[in-house]
């Protein structure tokens, strides 16, 4: 018998089954043959929150959570952050290889020439309340692009897919900047094709009456590095949303809106905003031990700490710390950094955090940089969504061409009532409110 197999004995029937092990996994569908009788549906796996289930085979991003390793298409994140621009990394994630000089020139040209938004987008935006969360405006506006590009539904046409991919990458900063200007009541700024991806984003955010916006090169590069670090992270909550919604063959604007909605939650991309709120709540270095005590007693979480996959350190957090130094060289030191460093120092010595393998994640320092650069905390998750769009699209494209993928449709273990007697409305008793 091959060594790469798993032998299972079903003690209900004393029957033995041998299943192949491939790439460290058994196929859940191979368990279906394990039955107690002809009427039995067959054995299923139960895995709430996908704690131990691979939902796809992927060649986009590799993570070794124990080793603290993150690679895009085989290149370590540290190397890409040091040597590449964000659009170069976007090309890598989408096409599998780093671009040649001329490929990159064409790619940058193409993305740059898709940054303009259809004027109707302005009208959607104007409909939002002045205090709407920029992330909610972004999600809605991306979904609304589906109305502007109805041909995007032809997802099986590779040329059409690529056009929508370029549009989404090009327009994401434009929508993000529009949502920011809307919340301030400032006029929207049109893209400037002379600028790089990050510079143009800064231009659309902050240009006032000057004829030409000139970005600080250190801050623009820092933003570009942050974009690289956030570009993909394999099968996280939002990538899973992208694949799941995309698996129904919804168009990429709607699938991207769903992914962005998943990102907005405080347990995912919303964490960077929560970190800043937490640092504000702590107020000063002296209050850190008391705050940690509160967390250990079960009152809230240390935001920006912990990760489902990284149980050693998050390699992105290291690069972010370095980037923070460069940014503070220009902007001056964000006083919240001292609180954060103290929090990290105490937490990393504390048994509670050590035994649970809770380390700072990408969100712990990114918010402090964003604030120093001039972003409001409400914009932080939007800053995450811009580069992550590339990852979502790479995952979406991979899913669509994978012959093993179908519409994503998990199973359940039903634990509710069965075949109840119907009771006429006048005979029903009130349902206790808390039951829902
Ligand atoms: C990221 C996160 C959702 C991962 O969650 P997870 O893999 O489901 O981990 P669990 O919630 O099972 O955590 C395991 C244990 O560590 C504790 N824990 C996890 N993150 C914690 C945090 N940030 N602060 C305090 N305790 C934490 C849990 O309470 C749990 O303790 P227990 O075993 O005593 O019950 C979680 O760590 C978290 O909420 N972090 C804060 C939000 C954040 O920074 N998100 C950004 C992720 S990039």
Our answer to whether residue 233 is catalytic in this structure is no
The mean per-residue pLDDT over the stretch 370-386 comes to 92
Residue having the nearest C-alpha atom to atom 6 of ligand 1: 308
What does the block give as tokens for 299? 């009152």
Helix (H) or strand (E) holding 255: helix 252-263
305 touches ligand 1 (CB under 6 Å): yes
**Residue from 151, 179, 181 nearest 167 by CA:** 151
pLDDT band at 170 (very low <50, low <70, confident <90, very high): very high
Predicted local distance difference test score (pLDDT) of residue 337: 87
Instruction: Say yes or no to pLDDT of 198 above 90.
Output: yes
Is the separation of the CB atoms in 320 and 229 below 8 Å? yes
Instruction: Say yes or no to pLDDT of 348 above 70.
Output: yes
**Residue from 183, 12, 116, 81 nearest 387 by CA:** 81
The alpha carbon of 51 and the centre of ligand 1 are apart by a number of angstroms equal to: 13
Higher-confidence position of 260 and 306: 260
Q: Which atom of ligand 1 lies at the shortest distance from residue 304's CA? A: 44
Instruction: Say yes or no to pLDDT of 373 above 70.
Output: yes
Q: Give the CA count within 13 Å in the CB-facing half-sphere of 227.
A: 26
pLDDT in tens, 242-275: 999 999 999 999 999 999 999 999 888 888 888 9
361 touches ligand 1 (CB under 6 Å): yes
Least confident of 80-89, 175-184, 202-211, 353-362: 353-362
Instruction: Say yes or no to pLDDT of 417 above 60.
Output: yes
The mean per-residue pLDDT over the stretch 402-418 comes to 97
The CA distances from residue 49 to 58, 92, 236, 244, in Å, are 19, 30, 11, 14
Handedness of CA 317, 321, 327, 331 (dihedral sign): positive
The alpha carbon of 24 and the centre of ligand 1 are apart by a number of angstroms equal to: 26
Least confident of 30-44, 150-164, 243-257, 357-371: 357-371
Instruction: For the chain, give the mean pLDDT.
Output: 95
Q: Where are the alpha helices (DSSP H) in 96-216?
A: 101-112, 119-126, 134-148, 158-184, 197-206
273 touches ligand 1 (CB under 6 Å): no
Instruction: Say yes or no to pLDDT of 154 above 70.
Output: yes
Instruction: Say yes or no to pLDDT of 363 above 90.
Output: no
Predicted local distance difference test score (pLDDT) of residue 381: 92
Instruction: Say yes or no to pLDDT of 434 above 70.
Output: no
Instruction: Say yes or no to pLDDT of 133 above 60.
Output: yes
Is the separation of the CB atoms in 71 and 77 below 8 Å? yes
315 touches ligand 1 (CB under 6 Å): no
Over its C-alpha atoms, the chain yields an Rg (Å, rounded) of 24
For every residue of 302-360, DSSP letters joined together read -TTB--SS-SS--HHHHHHHHHHHHHHHHH---THHHHHHHHHHHHHH-HHHHHTT--B
What does the block give as tokens for 131? 């205090």
308 touches ligand 1 (CB under 6 Å): yes
Instruction: Say yes or no to pLDDT of 436 above 60.
Output: no
Instruction: Say yes or no to pLDDT of 407 above 80.
Output: yes
For every residue of 260-314, DSSP letters joined together read HHHHTSTTTTTHHHHHHHHHHHH-SGGGHHHHHHHHHTTSS--TTB--SS-SS--
**Residues 300, 83: Cα–Cα separation, whole Å:** 39
**Residues 136, 149: Cα–Cα separation, whole Å:** 21
The mean per-residue pLDDT over the stretch 306-324 comes to 88
Predicted local distance difference test score (pLDDT) of residue 20: 98
**Residue from 197, 217, 199 nearest 207 by CA:** 199
**Residues 215, 365: Cα–Cα separation, whole Å:** 22
Predicted local distance difference test score (pLDDT) of residue 362: 85
For a mutational test of ligand 1's pocket, the pick from 49, 68, 306, i.e. the residue with the most ligand atoms closer than 8 A to its C-beta, is 306
List CB contacts of 45: < 8 A, sequence separation 6 or more: 28, 31, 53
Least confident of 208-212, 260-264, 320-324: 320-324
Instruction: Say yes or no to pLDDT of 431 above 90.
Output: no
């Amino acid at each position: 018998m091959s060594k790469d197999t798993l032998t299972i004995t079903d003690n209900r029937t004393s029957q033995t089954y041998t299943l192949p092990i491939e790439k460290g996994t058994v196929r859940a569908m191979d368990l279906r043959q394990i039955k107690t009788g002809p009427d039995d549906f067959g054995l299923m796996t139960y895995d709430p929150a996908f704690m131990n289930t691979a939902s796809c085979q992927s060649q986009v991003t590799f993570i070794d959570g124990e080793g603290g390793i993150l690679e895009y298409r085989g290149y370590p994140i540290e190397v890409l952050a040091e040597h590449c621009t964000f659009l170069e990394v976007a090309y890598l994630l989408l096409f599998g290889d780093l671009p040649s000089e001329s490929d990159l020139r064409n790619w940058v040209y193409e993305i740059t020439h898709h940054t303009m938004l259809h004027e109707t987008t302005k009208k959607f935006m104007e409909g939002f309340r002045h205090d709407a969360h920029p992330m909610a405006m972004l999600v809605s506006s991306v979904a609304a692009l589906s109305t502007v590009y109805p041909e995007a539904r032809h997802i099986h046409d590779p040329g059409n897919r690529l056009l929508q991919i370029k549009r989404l990458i090009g327009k994401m900063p434009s929508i993000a900047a529009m949502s920011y200007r809307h919340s301030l009541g400032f006029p929207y700024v049109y893209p400037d094709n002379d600028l790089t991806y990050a510079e143009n984003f800064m231009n659309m955010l902050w240009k006032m009456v000057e004829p030409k916006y000139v970005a600080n090169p250190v801050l623009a590069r820092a933003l570009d590095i942050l974009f690289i670090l956030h570009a993909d992270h394999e099968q996280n909550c939002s990538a899973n949303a992208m694949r799941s919604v995309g698996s129904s063959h919804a168009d990429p604007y709607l699938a991207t809106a769903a992914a962005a909605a998943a990102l907005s939650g405080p347990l995912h991309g919303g964490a960077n905003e929560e970190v800043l709120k937490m640092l504000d709540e702590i107020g000063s270095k002296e209050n850190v031990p008391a705050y940690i005590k509160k967390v250990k007693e079960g009152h809230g979480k240390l935001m920006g700490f912990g990760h489902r996959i990284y149980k050693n350190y998050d390699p992105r957090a290291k690069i972010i710390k370095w980037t923070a130094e460069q940014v503070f060289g220009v902007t001056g030191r964000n006083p919240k950094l001292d609180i954060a460093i103290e929090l990290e120092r105490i937490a990393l010595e504390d048994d509670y955090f050590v035994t649970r393998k809770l380390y700072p994640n990408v969100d712990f320092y990114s918010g402090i940089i964003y604030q120093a650069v001039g972003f409001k905390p409400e914009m932080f998750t939007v800053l995450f969504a811009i580069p992550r769009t590339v990852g979502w699209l790479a995952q979406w494209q991979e899913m669509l061409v994978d012959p093993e993928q179908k519409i994503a449709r998990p199973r359940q273990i039903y634990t509710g009532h069965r075949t109840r007697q119907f009771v006429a409305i006048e005979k029903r008793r009130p349902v206790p409110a808390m039951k829902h």
